[in-house]
Chains A and B, each alone.
Chain A
Amino acid sequence: MSGALRRVALGSRNAEVWKMMSVMRKMQAGCSLGAIALALSGGAHADMTTDDWGSWGQVVAEGSLGFIDPGLEKGRLWLEGQMRWDGDWRHWYQGVARAALGYSLSDRATVWIGYSFVPTQNAGKPYLAQQDVWPGFRYVLPTEFGTFTFRTMLESNFIRGDQVRYQPRQMFRYLRPFDFEPRLSLIAWDEVFVRLNSTPWGGPAGFGQNRAFLGGGWSFDPALRVELGYMNQYIDSRPNQVMHNLIMGSLFINF
């Protein structure tokens, strides 16, 4: 075969491979949506390899950098710590330390750049010291029916070795103070994680996990709010499916 013919043949073969990859990507996206739907409907329960109870506790503090210099008033600092238990509260499995710098585009929109350290000790698995870097965006939308918050984070997860997992996550959050006691609020949110690539330690590309929360919050003053509720965490780490039923407590501080 001449060089030109070989190039044409390779070109058409590449085009076929590209088409196949495109179809596979579409199927994968379809499967991911299907997995989310399955997760939300609870239909995936039959394949569940873990279904347990546990708890998450978190402290989240955020404030303007104006305390350093008035010229930095639009700068924001976000500090967060979490502890997580599973195995029906018998096993500590994860912690999170998160720090981020932000810039307020308006009183409602903030862009972020952050870092998370996530030490993880899943039962029967080796210890992982995951580190994440991420840009993020948050938008707060007050309405007559309550306040909606949209938070997007584009995580790069450094789990083990030099293979990075890219994992966007999107949160939709709703908070509505009760008319009879405005310090008490109904809080509901959902956060979806999608893995953009396959890595040996981070799982295959596609739908990653869904977190759904329903609970209540109490605002002591503009600087302090506590929340308590139930969170359902569904993780698709094929071939295993994990469902954590979690009692989640949070302390939110504005400084």
Chain B
Amino acid sequence: MQCARQHPFGGFASAPDRIAVIGLLPFFALLSGCLSDAELLAENSRIALQTAEMRGAGELDCPRVKAAIVTEKEVPGQPLGELYSEYGVRVDGCGRTVFYDIECRDEKICAVREKPLPK
């Protein structure tokens, strides 16, 4: 009578093997949930554009502005904290242009810095 369960890969999964596999499950789960820089940047780009348009509309005194992302990268935030998405955003409206550096993590945590116009 065969007591051990047949291992899917042909061998027999011993108790230590099973414990090792179970022990590694959180690690695999962690890796499967990893977010790439591209995913983080895509996630935060909408709010960065919205923030830039709101700020640009006020500063340019122009009701219809258009924002576009010029540069984007992930940067470290506060120490031992999260990564933040940093965008260089160009806002055009009413014949004028303004540039911003926008650092976002989600719609509640965005910081905007105006940049001088590139020469």
Contact = CB atoms under 8 A, between A and B. Distances in A.
Decide whether A and B assemble into one complex. yes
A175 B82 contact: yes
B34 interface: yes
Residue with the highest number of chain A CB atoms closer than 10 Å, among B40, B73, B76: B76
Given A140-B83, A143-B33, A143-B34, A182 B106 contact: yes
Contact of A225 (B30, B33, B74, B81): B81
Given A148-B30, A252-B78, A142 B111 contact: no
A206 B111 CA distance: 46
Interface of B: 30, 33-35, 37, 40, 73-84, 103-111
Contacts of B106: 177, 182
Given A221-B111, A252-B78, 20 more contacts: A60-B79, A62-B76, A104-B76, A140-B83, A141-B30, A142-B34, A143-B30, A143-B34, A144-B33, A173-B80, A177-B82, A177-B106, A182-B109, A183-B108, A219-B77, A222-B105, A252-B80, A253-B79, A254-B76, A254-B81
A225 B75 CA distance: 16
A47 interface: no
Interface of A: 60-62, 78, 104, 107-108, 110, 140-145, 147-149, 151, 173, 175, 177, 181-183, 217, 219, 221-225, 252-254
Contact of A253 (B78, B84, B107): B78
Contacts of A252: 78-81
A182 B77 CA distance: 15
A222 B78 contact: yes
B78 A223 contact: yes
A13 B96 CA distance: 86
A78 B79 contact: yes
19 contacts: A62-B79, A78-B79, A108-B74, A141-B34, A142-B82, A143-B33, A143-B34, A143-B35, A145-B33, A149-B80, A175-B80, A182-B106, A183-B109, A221-B109, A222-B78, A222-B109, A225-B77, A252-B78, A254-B77
Q: Which 8 A-B pairs have the closest CB atoms?
A: A143-B33, A252-B78, A144-B33, A62-B79, A107-B74, A225-B78, A222-B103, A254-B78
Contacts of B76: 62, 104, 107, 110, 140, 254
A183 B106 CA distance: 9
Nearest to A78: B79
Contacts of A145: 30, 33
